[in-house]
Amino acid sequence: MVLNLIKDELNRKLEKIGKDPFLGYVLTGSRAKGTGTEESDYDFMILTTPEEFELASTRLSYAFEQVNEHYFKGSEDFKSAEDLEILLSPAPQTKDYSVNPQTVRELGGEVFRDWKPIPLPEALKFSSIARDVLHVLWSKGVNLDKKASEIRRLKNFMKKIKVEIVGGFQSELLVNYLGSFDNVIKRVATDEPIVYDFHGRPTEELRRNRAFTNDYFIITDPIDPSRNAFGAITNDTKFMWDKMVYSSRVFLETGNIEPRPLPSGNNYAIRYDVSRFLDESSKFTKLFGVGNECRNILKNERYGVDVVDVDVGEELVFLNLEDDSRIFWHVGPPKTLKEACEIFEKKYKGGGIVEKEGRLFVQRERPNVKDILEENGFEVVKF
């Protein structure tokens, strides 16, 4: 019902501004793949040729604005204009997938005139927009709709634990690779980085690839071998992966998607002003970055405090510590490293050095955690 209403409205808009620069349009995203829910957006791709892209973009700018501002606001069948996204893209193809008139018709789209698909490598120069229809074609080829419930579970899990950079497409790739929601959770809980290539290249080759050098988590785009679909999780943003690991272990232990209550006595909250960041994603990323910075400060040799988990609120960063006592065991070198042991013993002479499991330890006293954080410029509001 709603889909037909949208298509009727799109046809009217395109007739009004003239269909000359347009090839047709097609539904993309989770609704096209059969993995969406009643809450999913309607994502439409309007197709053009590279030569006519600029003209088409100019013509559509006003029409898009009108559609997005006024479309179905008064309809009981449609929640709001924000639930409709319309994008413009040249019609691309890859080695295995081609957006041609036949495939558009097969996907239930509208074709205004025939065209020749853009060959590689030009097809992949149009960023993520050009891939949307190709991803739909790939999903049809692997029968992704049969795993729709597993994909929804994983997407909801990631949303619940606030790792939203793992969205619908990333959830689809993980479930396709590992088979089910449970398998993904078990695999993540091992804390072993996931590296998988839909194009059959060995792990060693991917790790040597310049494009993936700083990426902690690699699953290549099935239609674009040069792109890591999980490129947002790098060595610099590993805290996102750490949160996935922790939450997966909690789920396996408790069967609950909610993070377990943090143990009393070892919790600290830091206030950080993120008002200058306009969107929620930027605020969220910044707060987790602050949490990761605190983790690194507390973990260093002087303090030796292990942060078990980092979570965020509106303007707060929550730290759960394994042990926040003032006395801690500082880990020294293994006994096999004689020179390092001599330096360690000289440095902590008279400090009560002990040997345990072939390694040296010394008991030390540190400032309390609140003082450590405040000395490094953080505002502790709860401890």
- Res 131: pLDDT: 78
CA distance 328 to 309: 19
Domain with CATH 3.30.460 in the chain: 2-141
- At 80 the pLDDT is 40
At position 119, the amino acid (one-letter code) is P
**H or E segment at 333?**
strand 327-334
Instruction: Render pLDDT for 195-252 as a digit per residue (tens, 0 to 9).
Output: 999 999 998 888 888 888 888 889 999 988 888 998 888 777 777 787 788 788 888 8
SS3 assignment, position 228: strand
- Residue whose structure tokens are 């309607």: 42
Is the bond preceding 121 in cis, omega lying within 30 degrees of 0?
Answer: yes
* Alpha carbon separation from 110 to 46, 98, 246 (Å, rounded): 9, 16, 46
Kindly report the number of other CB atoms within 10 A of residue 145's CB atom: 14
Phi–psi pair at 44, nearest 5 degrees: -115, 140
pLDDT for the residue numbered 79:
41
pLDDT for 83 equals: 56
pLDDT of residue 383: 55
Q: Where in the chain is the domain with CATH 3.30.70?
A: 327-365
- What DSSP line would sit under 66-102, residue for residue? HHHHHTTTT-TT---GGGEEEEEEE--B-SS-B--HH
The answer as to CATH 2.60.40.3080 being correct for domain 145-254 is no
3-state secondary structure of 177: helix
CATH T-level topology, domain 2-141 = Beta Polymerase; domain 2 (3.30.460)
Question: pTM score > 0.75 for this model?
Answer: no
Taking 50 as the pLDDT cut, the residues of the chain under it are: 67-82, 259-264
Q: Check if CATH label 3.30.70 holds for domain 327-365.
A: yes
Compute how many other C-beta atoms are within 10 angstroms of the C-beta atom of residue 285.
Answer: 20
Residue extent(s) of CATH 1.10.1410.30 domains in the chain: 145-254
pLDDT of residue 292: 83
Contact 315, 271 (CB under 8 A): yes
Query: What pairs with residue 309 in β-bridges?
Result: 320
C-beta pairs of 69-74 under 8 Å, 24+ apart in sequence: 71/6, 71/9, 72/2, 72/5, 72/6, 72/9
Burial of 141 (0-12, 13-18, 19+ CB in 10 A): exposed
